């Protein structure tokens, strides 16, 4: 709901309100963001510290407003040159070098649904979404800024974006354009960011704010695994289920920048948008520039609720197409099973074993095309290598389909190897700078997607491959980041916009190809999770989370990812032990227990496993299929535990909750039992709890267990009242801690885990 009362705009969702005030000078100021305020309530002015605090020798607006210090005002969209020295939302150049803008209220409109200036953008919904457009104009120049706010009522999400319009005769060069700015009245916040690198994506970093600017960004040409565009501000005391949390994210796949600044007056400014690094965009007279959209949410009850708001928003308004609400198939991917070393015979043997165990989709990864026999050649030539696949993609597709499997195919369209037919024909399609030797990543180069002919070539080559194979699923990879940024094309003026133009070319290609193949399930990938963002998710409903499938590392990677993105978007596989990224040994059952929290599959050579592991996998797939909807689409929550050694996750859909208990290290003689408390359940109900019946192999446990008499499984069931589960928590039974083995002893060991199924009873 959005309304204007006097000088105030109230942008409200079910549980939150974002309030804006127009000052008597016309400046559009931020008033508050937090729990819902229905409309102008008595004393509203008293929740805000006011707009007239003298800050000593600071610059005040003019002689008529000696108490108006821009440097200490909460603004909606900051510019430079009128006393505000904080990071600006907008920086421009005009008139031979001037940059000052003084934006004031010019008009507004409130409307059902939302605008769609920049694509990709969130979907609209006339019932649930209402929008506000505030138009700002510079006091002197015909430069306009349109600020958009869309309230997603049920999700408690506010969508923000901006459009800059130049109606002057002179050109305006944009050098920094944020999608949103949020000025908060204090600085008692801590920042959660999601940082890492290849194989350790989106690890949570928590740090207190202090005076100065923190920049979370990417300069790599993609959203990157170094810093995700998701950030949270939380109070010192905030945990998963209590305390204030504000979260924001950007719907964009290129260079982004989140700047968090604490001013000398202990105010916090938060900005997100396209990274100003290497960015400039020229607006001729009449030209306009639309920013990507940003999303914002607030929770007074910890970060689980903020994440759940984003999850539900992403499921409804970011994911689209025929796979939006469909359950994702269980897949087998041949990459870690064979790498480049495969024949059709070997692939079919893997497929046949997988099918027998219950797998639904076979994915042929890298190495099926052109001269690709290793990672030094072939990228760019999307034609089947018939030495490896004698019957072509069509033959392999037919054979897999006749086995009752779906057929998935890997591609990496944005890349080219020097050793390829495409490079020999079009060397200038590679991104490079004349006279400089371009830098390399994984022996490959990036194609210049800012050029139409490159996008057109890729579209037709991919259409042919996907049609020939009658492909059901595509894994779209991107294995290096950008260097030597420049376009050799004549029509690509304004090289400061190269990064952005590349992303626009990519989006155009994705848009065309996903429209042409609406039934294909697309999974985006970038050397694992190097491009896990909301822009890609607008085209592809799932993302390969990380090449690292190590059980322990995945706890951190998935936990970080799930703070911004729902389980159905998160590709998650069981692979071999010892793990190919960590050399860690872990049990097949525990690997499943951690991997099943997303779009699930296997990525190991099933033909080499022992009979017991195969039986375990058969049981896992049956379990996953039974609870797939809960695991992919349930409400995910991290549950607090005694310490970081023990992790609990839960996912709830209708009357069913699945819980993961994961233990990093077995500890000696602890003298306590692990406890499970689920504060979100219904206190008035009763619940039946049981554990997934997983295979425990005595031979994995060592000599001390030779007399362990319980057989190979550990079954447990209990009926517990909701009140006890919510308010007290229940004990899960003593673990083996070195003090002997008894009938009730549970054996988790290092990197051990259990799954529990909790059903609400009638």
Please tell me which residue in 305, 448, 547, 605 is annotated as part of the active site. Answer: 547
**CA triplet 474, 381, 549: central angle to 5 degrees?**
40
- Exposure string over 725-737, b if 16+ CB within 10 A, otherwise e: bbeebbebebbbe
- For residue 213, how far is the Cα from the chain centroid? 24
Query: What minimum distance in Å lies between the beta carbon of 457 and ligand DGJ?
Result: 21
Which residues, in sequence order, are CB contacts of 223 under 8 Å at separation 6+? 229, 252, 253, 254, 256, 530, 531, 532, 533, 535, 536
CA atoms within 13 A on the CB side of 628: 15
Q: State the minimum distance, in angstroms, from the CB of residue 193 to ligand DGJ.
A: 23
Rounded least distance, CB 261 to ligand DGJ, Å: 35
Strands 445-446, 415-416: pairing kind = antiparallel
Residue 534 phi, psi dihedral angles, 5° rounding: -75, -20
Start-to-end C-alpha separation, the chain:
37
Query: Is position 477 annotated as part of the catalytic site?
Result: yes
CA-to-CA distance for 522 and 531, rounded, in angstroms? 14
Contact 37, 44 (CB under 8 A): yes
- Cα distances (Å, whole numbers) of residue 752 to 337, 343, 734, 748: 24, 36, 14, 4
What Rg, from alpha-carbon coordinates, does the chain have? 28
What is the C-alpha separation between 322 and 496, in angstroms, rounded? 37
Give the contacts of 425 (CB within 8 A, at least 6 positions apart): none
Contact by Cβ (8 Å): 103, 278: no
**Taking the complex as a whole, how short is the minimal distance between the CB of residue 751 and ligand DGJ, in angstroms?**
22
Give the integer Cα–Cα distance in Å for 187 and 189: 5
Phi, psi of 605 (to 5 degrees): -85, 100
Cα 83 to Cα 53, 63, 175, 264, distances in angstroms: 14, 14, 19, 14
Q: Which residue is nearest to ligand DGJ (CB)?
A: 366
Which candidate in 477, 533, 605, 674 is catalytic?
477
What's the gap between Cα 216 and its chain centre?
15
Which residues contact ligand DGJ (rule: CB under 6 A)? Answer: 335, 365-366, 410, 477, 479, 525, 527-528, 544, 547
Beta bridge partners of 543: 524, 570
Q: Contact, 408 vs 328, CB < 8 A?
A: no
> In degrees rounded to 5, what are phi and psi of residue 620?
-65, -45
**Smallest gap from residue 698 Cβ to ligand DGJ (A):** 35
Q: Are 108 and 4 in contact (CB under 8 A)?
A: yes
Residue (410 or 502) nearer to ligand DGJ, CB: 410
**Could you give the CA distance from residue 234 to residue 19 in angstroms, rounded to a whole number?**
20
Residue 544: CB minimum distance to ligand DGJ, A: 6
Q: What is the DSSP letter of 109?
A: E
Minimum CB–partner distance for residue 577 and ligand DGJ (Å): 18
- The CB-of-571 to ligand DGJ minimum distance in angstroms stands at 9
CB of 471 to ligand DGJ, least distance (A): 16
The catalytic site residues sit at 477, 547
């Amino acid at each position: 709901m959005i309304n204007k009362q006097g000088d105030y705009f109230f942008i409200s969702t079910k549980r939150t309100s974002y309030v804006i005030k127009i000052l008597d000078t016309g400046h559009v100021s931020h008033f508050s963001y937090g729990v819902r305020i229905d409309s102008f309530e008595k004393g509203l002015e008293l929740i805000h510290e006011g707009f007239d605090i003298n800050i000593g020798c600071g610059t005040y607006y003019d002689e008529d407003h000696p108490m108006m210090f821009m440097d200490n005002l909460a603004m909606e969209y900051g510019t430079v040159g009128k006393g505000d020295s904080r990071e600006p939302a907008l920086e421009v150049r005009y008139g031979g070098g001037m940059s000052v803008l003084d934006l004031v209220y010019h008009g507004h409109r409130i409307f059902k649904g939302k605008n769609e200036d920049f694509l990709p953008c969130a979907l609209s919904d006339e019932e649930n979404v209402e929008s506000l457009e505030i138009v700002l104009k510079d006091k002197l120049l015909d430069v306009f800024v349109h600020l958009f706010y869309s309230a997603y009522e049920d999700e408690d999400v506010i969508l923000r974006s901006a459009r800059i319009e130049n109606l002057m005769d002179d050109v305006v060069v944009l050098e920094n354009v944020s999608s949103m700015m949020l000025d908060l009245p204090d600085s008692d916040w801590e920042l959660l960011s999601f940082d890492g690198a290849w194989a350790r994506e989106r690890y949570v970093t928590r740090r207190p704010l202090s005076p100065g600017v923190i920049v979370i960004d990417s300069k790599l040409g993609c959203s990157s695994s170094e810093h995700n565009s998701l950030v949270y501000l939380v109070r010192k005391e905030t945990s998963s289920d209590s305390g204030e949390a504000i979260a924001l994210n950007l719907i964009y796949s290129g260079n982004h920048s989140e700047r968090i600044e604490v001013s000398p007056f202990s105010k916090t400014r938060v900005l997100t948008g396209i990274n100003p690094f290497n960015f400039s965009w020229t607006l001729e007279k009449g030209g306009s520039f639309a920013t990507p959209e940003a999303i914002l949410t607030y929770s007074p009850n910890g970060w689980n609720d903020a994440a759940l708001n984003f999850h539900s928003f992403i499921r409804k308004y970011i994911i689209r197409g025929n796979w939006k609400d469909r359950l994702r198939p269980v897949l087998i991917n041949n990459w870690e099973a064979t790498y480049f070393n495969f024949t059709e015979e070997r692939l079919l043997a893997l497929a046949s074993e997988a099918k027998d165990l219950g797998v639904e989709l076979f994915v042929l990864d890298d190495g099926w095309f052109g001269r690709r026999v290793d990672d030094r050649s072939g990228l760019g030539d999307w034609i089947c290598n018939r030495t490896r696949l004698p019957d072509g993609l069509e033959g392999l597709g037919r054979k897999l389909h006749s086995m009752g499997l779906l057929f998935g195919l890997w591609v990496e369209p944005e890349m080219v190897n020097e050793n390829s037919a495409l490079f020999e024909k079009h060397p200038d399609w590679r991104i490079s700078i004349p006279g400089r030797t371009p830098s390399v990543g994984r022996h490959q180069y990036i194609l210049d997607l800012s050029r139409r002919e490159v996008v057109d070539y890729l579209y037709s080559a991919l259409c042919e491959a996907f049609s020939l194979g009658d492909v059901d699923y595509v894994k779209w990879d991107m294995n290096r980041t950008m260097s030597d940024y420049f376009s050799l094309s004549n029509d690509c003026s304004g090289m400061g916009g190269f990064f952005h133009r590349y992303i626009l070319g990519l989006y155009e290609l994705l848009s065309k190809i996903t429209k042409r193949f609406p039934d294909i399930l697309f999974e985006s990938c970038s050397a694992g999770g190097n491009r896990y963002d909301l822009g890609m998710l607008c085209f592809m409903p799932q993302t390969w989370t990380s090449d690292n499938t190590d059980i322990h590392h995945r706890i951190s990677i998935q936990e970080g990812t799930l703070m911004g993105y729902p389980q159905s978007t998160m590709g998650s596989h069981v692979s071999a032990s010892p793990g190919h990224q960590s050399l860690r040994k872990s049990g097949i059952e525990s690997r499943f227990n951690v991997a099943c929290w997303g779009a699930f599959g296997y990525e190991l050579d099933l033909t080499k496993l022992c009979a017991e592991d195969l039986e375990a996998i058969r049981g896992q797939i049956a379990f996953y299929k039974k609870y797939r909807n809960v695991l992919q689409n349930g409400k995910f929550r991290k549950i607090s535990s005694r310490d970081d050694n023990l992790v609990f996750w839960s996912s709830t859909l209708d009357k069913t909750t699945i819980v993961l208990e994961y233990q990093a290290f077995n500890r000696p003689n602890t003298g306590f039992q692990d406890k499970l408390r689920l504060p979100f359940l219904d206190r008035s109900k009763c619940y039946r709890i049981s554990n997934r019946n997983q295979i425990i192999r005595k031979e994995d446990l060592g000599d001390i267990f030779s007399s362990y008499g319980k057989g190979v499984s550990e079954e447990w069931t209990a009926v517990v009242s909701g009140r006890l589960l919510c308010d007290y928590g229940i004990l899960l039974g003593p673990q083996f801690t070195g003090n002997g083995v008894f009938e009730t002893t549970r054996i988790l060991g290092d990197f051990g885990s259990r799954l529990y199924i909790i059903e609400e009873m009638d």
